[in-house]
Amino acid sequence: MKLKSIFCYLLIFALVLTGCSGGGNNTSNTELKEETGNNEVQSDPVKDSVVFSINAEPSTLDPQKGNDLLTFMVHCQIFDTLIRESSDGTLVPGIAEEWKFSDDGKEIVFKLRNDVKFHNGDQMTADDVVFSFNRAINSTFTKRITGSMDRMEKVDDSNVKLILKYSYGPVLDCIATSNLGIVSQKAVEADEEGFARNPVGTGAFKFVEWSNGEKIVFESFDDYYRGEANIKNLTFKIISDKTSAAVALENGEVDVLLSPAEADRNNLIDNENIKYYETESNSFYFISFNNEEGLFSNKLLREAISYAIDRESLIIGALEGNGAALESAIPTNCFGAPQNFKGNQYDVEKAKALLAEAGYPNGLTVKLPTLYLDPTEVLQDQLRQIGITAEIEQMERGAWLQDVYTDNKYEITVGSYSALVPDADQITYNRYHGDFVGGGNNMVRCNIPELNEALDLARTSQDPEVRKAEYTKVSEIIRDESVLIPLYSSINGIAANKDLKGVQAHPVQRAYVYDYSWQ
Amino acid sequence: MLKFIFKRLMMIIPVILGISFIIFSIMALTPGDPARLMLGENATQEDVEKLREEMGLNDNFVVRYFNYMKDVIRGDFGISYRNRIPVFDEVFARFPNTLVLAFWGISLSVMIGVPIGIISAVKQYSIIDTVSLGVALILTSIPAFWLGLMLILLFSLKLDLLPSTGVETWKHFILPSVTLAAGTMATLIRMTRSTMLEVIRQDYIRTARAKGATENRIIFKHALRNALLPVITIIGINFGFQLGGAMVIETVFAMPGLGTLMITSVRLKDTPMVMASVLFVAIAVSLVNLLVDLLYSYIDPRIKSQYAKS
Amino acid sequence: MGEDMVKQDVVIKKKYKKRSQIKSIMFRYKKNKLAMVGFVMFIIMIIIAISADLIVDYEIDAVTQNMKERLQTPNSEHVFGTDEYGRDIFARIIFGARISLFVGLITISLSLTGGAIIGATAGYYGGRIDNVLMRIMDIFLAIPSILLAISIVAALGTGIFNLLLAMSISQVPRFARIVRSSILTVKGQDFIEAAKACGTKDSRIIIKHIIPNAIGPIIVQATLTMASTILTISSLSFVGLGIQSPTPEWGSMLSDGKKQMRYYPHLVIIPGIAIMLAVMSLNLIGDGLRDALDPRLKN
């Protein structure tokens, strides 16, 4: 009958469509599945693939346009830097064999290796290094890393000179980040925009393909200057739901899971086939005030809130207890973080007294825009206890970046900062210095002369002890003026198949798959 | 007949224009500067201003809309504000996933819903009837995403039978399709049942019975054909809802389709991406409506002649 | 003299017709057992929503966080258990009913008003105005309502007013259609011409004829709108664009609970059942009314 035949055609059409879109991506994955799945049942021959689960897509594969921790992590596999971070966190030679500072600390000469190749077979030259650095210095995305740099010059075919604007303590750490990954000048100049989806670097893994929203595939680079990686096939699988990702890890569908959800932590730790690694992160969450305008230009009010904070409850509510209270504005793993620093301690009565002294004996109402709902909900309740009604406005990242972060149209907010490089300067200078008020830097809008001095001295001094002392001072001033209230650092976790060696948690969520190998 | 098809294709244009204008207006009202999003938090204000000029963001709203539509006609859907890749590539890559999902949603709902509706009608007041009506009632009363969550809870997390995210294999489509099909299935059960009931009561059915035709023949040859007409309309109308429902379901199952793209893009104020997605959906829905009307005319020759005349 | 008598006749006849119409509709509705079940469920929901404060305390139970009590499964102290912030789920469900009803009612009012104005204008003036207005309505109907709601809320922000606006806009076309078709049905009939010839004012025609004709389908649509509003709001809250914390809305309870779903399924099962029961009662009422109004089923 006509109806029936129409029906059959539709059915066949649907099946074909499913086959095309779903199955097309099927092949490479089933191969991987056979190799990495069901560890309990079979012992597979030489395993050399890793499926790495991440919960969002990197924004780009162009290292000089990278802007967030996840993107940086992916870049680490593709690009190398002059100085390399080794697995215990120390800095060792990378593409540069050695380097020498000038006496005033404003120039560094690097001697380059001569055996580094690009993924496309080209030899890496000093020109590529100069090109990459200057590209980074001119990029609008990398200011936090390249802010101290003026330009890179070629000295000769084996040497390059980096000229800084001022002597900068953490400059070597900055050079070790992926924003300064070396790219192929030829490839970039051939296709500037396309490079973001088709990168050419010198790193351990070279790019194969990117299926939007699904996965990014790499294979090992056989001419890698440190020797080819143990892992031959690396697939980043994008699983945006963390619970499903945990299930996938348990099933063996993926081998590594970056940043598992707090809710799944205990379950994964208890699982015999999975190992869970963690470390304190270089990110922290805080309450930020607009110190210049509005309700919170009143110091007493800010101080009142600083006594109303119960960090432990915040950590439980936001992170299932998986965090570390932070009382100084500098995360513990950063150079310059003061030891055993104490902020204002939890004291509801004192908070209420200060509130009354500030002129609000009957409490008040504030708008509380935020990106992070969980800690903010707990905070809202803590504020209620002292009589402050907070109306939470959960914002999208774009809106928050514009209104709160850049234009500073807010009074109080909950935010987070990360130190890309484990040095206090990264997470204090732009944030609290009077020269940088607004525009996406100093969002507390403070301008305190003693603070500015301490920050300047800490940044340029070449004496580590001086720097540390100044940063302790910075923390004290921030606490005494209640410029901003640090809350807690999260704990970065990574979970992996127990047979995969070399996996480590990292304060800035990096992962070096080059170090991984199957037992 | 061809004239009719042509006329209908032409009528799609004002609808598309209308939809695109509405969505464009809404996106223009959203706070947040795409230039700043593209350049990053650390860019200076001057860099941002420069990019705004380049992207034409400082032109007035109507001018921007015209420029956009001009480009679209030439096939250029613009560059994503978020990651600077051509919008068309991303939308085109993801569209099949959503289409397949919507398709299976409709197919499952028809394959299961219609037969159940027919059986319910034929065996009115029996247990089958009561149970199917009950199931239909429940299915229309629950939010689709909750059904998805329950299915994930049962089949993925507890029983570990089916995957809960991704689009790799056909297995990955099972739970999402079932979730999507549920709502329409319920509607189809009820509609089919009620139209069948109406048709069965008609005189010509009674005549066929009197003439001695078997029950099966009556149902399949006579009743079904007429009862299915309104049902086909529902399927057509519902396709639009299927695509809309697919959006939320894609979020629940974290599938890389047009739906998740649209939601992310709306949040990130990635106007070109949103516009392209909406246009794709609008065109798809309109084409399906046209197909449904043509199907109609195949089934009912009276309508065919009506179309041919106009 | 003769005119007066005719008018009186018509009036008397109409009064008689109307009363028995309403009565017979109610009678048919009551006969429908399922519809009565729905009605009772709905009344229970209203009672719970109104008397919420008497049963549980908003501040203490539904909103205040209590980390020591978090994530409890249903027990004697907390009938439905507690959520991840230690709040009593039973209390939150009860207050959630209030919110759902409130949002539903406002949405109905707004969209009915908007729809009536548009539909009335279209139906009454006909011709070009009718065409243009209905095309615009079609365009809005063609946009999936979730997308429309998401766009509006993403654009204007998540305040409750914007939310209501978004929900109402998507429902206006439906009410517009009903009002318009009621007007068209009535417009074409002979006795309207007669009434007009007698000099009856327009307003009288509207009140005496159009409204009674339209009320039935409008009420049916209202129940459906309320049901669909509850579903859409919960979807929006689930995606993070609906009602904000700590207000206990069923959809945002689902969104909060999703993270812990694997280990504490009650967080996700209970609010879902609440939504289901609320929407089901409305669907049953709507169905029952539709059947009761349909003269073809009069046998």
CATH number of domain containing C109: 1.10.3720.10
Taking only residues 141 to 170 of chain C, the set having a beta carbon closer than 8 angstroms to any beta carbon of chain A reads 154, 157-158
Single-letter amino acid code for the residue at C81: G
Task: Quote the pLDDT of residue A15.
Answer: 59
B284, B15 contact by CB (below 8 A): no
**Do the domain assignments include residue C13?**
no
Mean pLDDT of all residues belonging to chain A: 86
DSSP-derived 3-state class of residue A428: helix
Which residue would you say has higher pLDDT here, A306 or A15? A306
Taking only residues 122 to 141 of chain B, the set having a beta carbon closer than 8 angstroms to any beta carbon of chain A reads none
Measured distance CA(A167)–CA(A456) in Å, rounded? 11
Task: Quote the pLDDT of residue B254.
Answer: 82
Mean pLDDT of A249-258: 91
Q: Taking CB atoms and an 8 Å limit, are A243 and C64 in contact across chains?
A: no
Q: Which residues contact A366 (CB under 8 A, 6 or more apart)?
A: A295, A383, A388, A389, A390, A391, A411, A412
Residue C64, class by beta-carbon neighbours within 10 Å (0-12 exposed, 13-18 middle, 19+ buried)? middle
Mean pLDDT of C231-259: 82
Neighbours of C264 (CB within 10 A): 20
Mean pLDDT of C6-28: 61
Task: Quote the pLDDT of residue C298.
Answer: 44
Domains of chain A and CATH, by start: 50-273+498-518 (3.40.190.10), 281-490 (3.10.105.10)
Q: What is the pTM of this model?
A: 0.78
Q: Is the pLDDT of residue C17 over 70?
A: no
B180, B257 contact by CB (below 8 A): no
DSSP chain B: -HHHHHHHHHHHHHHHHHHHHHHHHHHHHS-S-HHHHHH-TT--HHHHHHHHHHHTTTS-HHHHHHHHHHHHHTT---B-TTT-SBHHHHHHHHHHHHHHHHHHHHHHHHHHHHHHHHHHHHTTTSHHHHHHHHHHHHHHHS-HHHHHHHHIIIIIIIS--S--S--SSTHHHHHHHHHHHHHHHHHHHHHHHHHHHHHHTSHHHHHHHHTT--HHHIIIIIIHHHHHHHHHHHHHHHHHHHHHHHHHHHHHTT--SHHHHHHHHHHTT-HHHHHHHHHHHHHHHHHHHHHHHHHHHHH-HHHHHHHHH-
Q: Is the pLDDT of residue A34 over 50?
A: no
Q: Is the pLDDT of residue A469 over 90?
A: yes
Domains of chain B and CATH, by start: 1-80+270-310 (no CATH), 96-259 (1.10.3720.10)
Q: Is the pLDDT of residue C281 over 50?
A: yes
What domain range includes position C264? 44-64+76-297
Task: Quote the pLDDT of residue C28.
Answer: 78
Mean pLDDT of all residues belonging to chain C: 80
Task: Quote the pLDDT of residue C41.
Answer: 92
User: Of A141, A212, A403, which is closest to B40 when you measure between CB atoms?
Assistant: A141
DSSP C86-108: S-BHHHHHHHHHHHHHHHHHHHH
Per-residue confidence band for C157, with pLDDT thresholds at 50, 70 and 90: low
Of the candidate ranges A148-157, A481-490, C181-190, the one whose mean pLDDT is the lowest? C181-190
- Let me know how long chain A is: 519
- Chain B CB contacts of C227 under 8 Å are 141
**Residue A117 per-residue DSSP state:** B
Per-residue confidence band for A352, with pLDDT thresholds at 50, 70 and 90: very high
- C68/B contact by beta carbon, under 8 A: no
**Residue A436 per-residue DSSP state:** G
Q: Taking CB atoms and an 8 Å limit, are B263 and C254 in contact across chains?
A: no
According to DSSP, the residues that pair with A390 across neighbouring strands are A366
Q: What is the count of residue pairs from B and C with beta carbons less than 8 Å apart?
A: 110
Q: Is the pLDDT of residue A368 over 60?
A: yes
Task: Quote the pLDDT of residue C15.
Answer: 52
According to DSSP, the residues that pair with A324 across neighbouring strands are A489
- Chain B CB contacts of A60 under 8 Å are 83-84
**Do the domain assignments include residue C170?**
yes
Q: Is the pLDDT of residue A41 over 50?
A: no
**Do the domain assignments include residue C32?**
no
**Do the domain assignments include residue C167?**
yes
Task: Quote the pLDDT of residue A32.
Answer: 35
Measured distance CA(A375)–CA(A313) in Å, rounded? 9
| Number of domains, chain C | 1
Measured distance CA(A114)–CA(A123) in Å, rounded? 8
Q: Which residues contact A181 (CB under 8 A, 6 or more apart)?
A: A63, A64, A75, A78, A79, A80, A81, A132, A201, A203
**Do the domain assignments include residue C203?**
yes
Task: Quote the pLDDT of residue A178.
Answer: 92
Dihedral (CA of A60, A65, A70, A76) sign: positive
- B115/A contact by beta carbon, under 8 A: no
pLDDT tens digits, A230-247: 999 999 998 888 888 898
- Chain B CB contacts of C259 under 8 Å are none
Give B112's Cβ-side CA count (13 Å radius).
18
Q: Is the pLDDT of residue B204 over 90?
A: no
A372, A315 contact by CB (below 8 A): no
Task: Quote the pLDDT of residue A28.
Answer: 35
Nearest to A413 by CA among A447, A444, A445: A444
Of the candidate ranges A169-178, A225-234, A358-367, C3-12, the one whose mean pLDDT is the lowest? C3-12
Q: Is the pLDDT of residue C7 over 60?
A: no
According to DSSP, the residues that pair with A277 across neighbouring strands are A494
pLDDT tens digits, C265-276: 999 999 999 999
Per-residue confidence band for B307, with pLDDT thresholds at 50, 70 and 90: low
Q: Is the pLDDT of residue A303 over 80?
A: yes
Measured distance CA(A111)–CA(A114) in Å, rounded? 9
Mean pLDDT of A490-499: 92
Nearest-by-CA chain C residue for B261: C147
Task: Record the tokens describing residue A114, joined without a space.
Answer: 């001569």
Mean pLDDT of A257-265: 90
DSSP A284-335: EEEEEE-SSSSGGGSHHHHHHHHTS--HHHHHHHHHTT-EEE--SSS-TTSB
